Every structure is written in structure tokens, then in C-alpha cells.
Amino acid sequence: MDLLLQIKQRAKKLNKNIVLPETNDDRILKAADIILKEKLAQITLLGNKQEIIKFSQKMDLENIEEAIFVDPFDSKNKEKYGNL
């Protein structure tokens, strides 16, 4: 069996979460889009949801909205993250 296929099948089975803080990098968003499309893992994107979606739409990425979005500057999370 193809090694890449084995890795993808294992990733799907494990269903891990990948947190990506570099959401202004088009390479990161392209990779996240592929991972979401192929359902290889859950993706958490750090940053403003509306800005990330707007940026991804300019790049014609179709799966980014399936990600989990966490804005570390959101007032309800600010104190929580500040105490880590």
C-alpha cells in the first residue's frame, strides 16, 4: 500500500486537532483547506474568524469555514489566556 495513503488513513482514524496560529500565511490556509477537505484532522485557526474567512475566500478555499476559530483577543477569552 502507498505510504502516503497509509498516513492519511491513520490520520483519519486518529481524528486529531491541529492548532494553526499563522492564519495570515496563505500556505498555512491552503494546507488547512486540504486537511479539512480530506477530513484528515480537525483544524483550529487562531485569529479573527471574519478576517480569516475573507482572506480564504480571496484564495478560493472552500473548506476553511469547517475549522474551529479561536480569537485570542476576544474579550471573553483574554483573561483565560493571560493566566496560562
Residue 43 has a pLDDT of: 98
C-alpha cell, 48:
479573527
CB neighbour burial string for 3-42, b if at least 16 within 10 angstroms, e if fewer: eeeeeeeebeeeeeeeebeebeeeeebeebbebbeeebbe
Q: Rounded mean pLDDT of the chain?
A: 91
pLDDT beneath 50, residues of the chain: none
pTM: 0.84
pLDDT tens column, 11-30:
999 999 999 999 999 999 99
Domains of the chain, earliest start first: 14-82 (3.40.50.10950)
Measured distance CA(76)–CA(35) in Å, rounded: 29
Percent of residues, the chain, with pLDDT higher than 90: 83
Measured distance CA(77)–CA(37) in Å, rounded: 29
Residue 73 has a pLDDT of: 83
